[in-house]
Amino acid sequence: MFENENENDILGFDPQDLSVFSEKDNKPKTQSNPHIYHTRPAESNSEDGRYRCTIKVVYNPFNLKESVLEQQSYSIHDANGWLNVVSTLTNGDTSCPIFKAWKKCHFTKKEDNFDLWRQAAPEKEGGRDLFDKRFARYVVIQVLEDNNHPENVNKFMLWKLPKVIYDLINAKQKPSKESKKAPIPVMDFLFGRSIDIEVVPGEGDPGSEKYNRDTKYIAELSEDPVCCVNPDGSPLLNDEEQAILDKYVSSMKEIWKEKDPAVRAEKKKIVDQDPNTIELGKIYNGKVIPAIKAVCPNLLEELGYKPWTPEQTTRIQAWIDKVLRGEDPRLDSSAPEAASTVGTETTTTTNESTTETSDSVGEDVSDDLPF
């Protein structure tokens, strides 16, 4: 069952309450995780090379407020290769030992301790630039259309959210007070919006720096609400349940159009007390949320921070010790062996990582876009 105390929480959930909007500074590759959706132009089957699809970005059914995961991670390089780990910074916890080591190096003046200073300093300034920190936002989506990978259609998956689409969603879900617009629950399962996407590749060969750097997204939100469906494409709701939803949406459309916040709030109170709304809340809790949980990957469990394994902790500490001694950890072959992933996708440690500028742990270079 849905964990909220009030059975109508999903209907009363304010999209502005997503934890990503809170004042708390929570800001935070590889063989692909099958739960992660990719929109790589190199995999397009269209003549113009653009990757087209239609998706719905939806709430995390396991935790509504944590529907946008801002993942912070580090990729360290020692003599054994690359190790990618999700940092506690993802949870707003600054006790991450790699972060603390970076602070020590970053705030050391060159003239005071050159060996320590150069560990975090950019290579163009004569440093080693050893601290490879990455940032990515992940969300839950349902793929509605994708001719490039039809096997993904109707699946609930995880997606690295490009900034341009993040901004597009936020403009609807968290409009400025000055606009006097109502927040539209774009990510709602039953009456959210779909997004038509075109991924336009940059010039050059697929995978090249220019190709990745100049790749861009074009996205458009649907005007009308769009309901999620079951993985087999069948409706989530039966005819009677759909009629209840339609009545609710009809009432809410008038509220979404209302410019006066006070009037809007009063109208919303009336809708919330309507027996039809109470019935819809029961449908959400008794049917919709359980059904989606059963087929949806858990965003936080798959991509959030998890305590590092003893092997990873040992390897990281050995790397940090060498860094703080002013050594180059990439040259010391005595570093302990360890698995090369944690908390996200599995990865192989290849030299390709030396040129990666990816935002997320374990992402392929070809999915590395300039956001």
Prediction pTM value: 0.81
**Does the structure show a pLDDT above 50 at 219?**
yes
Nearest-10 Cα torsion for 347, 360, 51, 170: 150
- Mean of the per-residue pLDDT values of the chain: 86
Question: What average pLDDT does the segment 167-182 reach?
Answer: 94
pLDDT band at 363 (very low <50, low <70, confident <90, very high): very low
Least confident of 44-48, 65-69, 322-326, 342-346: 342-346
pLDDT at site 213? 79
Contacts of 358 (CB under 8 A, 6+ apart): 29, 134, 364, 365, 367, 368
Domain 9-364 in CATH 3.90.198.10? The answer is yes
Q: What is the pLDDT of residue 191?
A: 96
pLDDT-derived band at 209 (thresholds 50, 70, 90) equals: confident
- Between residues 5 and 248, which one has the greater pLDDT? 248
Ranges of each domain in the chain = 9-364
Position 22 confidence tier, pLDDT thresholds 50, 70, 90: low
Residue 84 has pLDDT above 60, yes or no: yes
Q: Is the pLDDT reported for residue 30 higher than 50?
A: no
Question: What is the rounded average pLDDT of the residues 295-308?
Answer: 97
pLDDT at position 238 over 80: yes
Give residue 13's pLDDT: 74
Query: Which pLDDT band, with edges at 50, 70 and 90, does 334 fall under?
Result: low
With 50 as the cut, is the pLDDT of residue 366 above it? no
Tell me: pLDDT of 231 over 70: yes
For residue 51, the Cα-to-chain-centroid distance in whole angstroms is: 19
Q: What is the mean pLDDT of residues 282-298?
A: 97
Report the distance separating Cα 354 and Cα 347, nearest Å: 14
Whole-angstrom distance, CA of residue 217 vs CA of residue 159: 14
Q: Would you state the structure tokens that stand for residue 289, as one six-digit string?
A: 């949320």
Question: pLDDT tens-digit profile of 112-138?
Answer: 999 999 999 999 999 999 999 999 999
What is the pLDDT at residue 361?
A: 40
Provide the pairing of β-strand 69-78 with 132-145. Answer: antiparallel
Both structure tokens of 55: 């998706």
Instruction: Work out the number of other CB atoms within 10 angstroms of the CB of residue 61.
Output: 23
Report how far residue 131's alpha carbon sits from residue 120's, in angstroms, rounded to the nearest whole number.
6
Task: Assess whether pLDDT exceeds 60 at residue 74.
Answer: yes
Closest C-alpha to 218, from 200, 193, 192: 200
Flag whether pLDDT at 27 surpasses 50.
no
In this structure, the number of other CB atoms found within 10 A of the CB of residue 274 comes to 13
Q: How confident is the model at residue 17 (pLDDT cuts 50, 70, 90)?
A: confident
Per-residue pLDDT for 8 more than 70? no
Q: Which residue has the higher pLDDT, 361 or 306?
A: 306
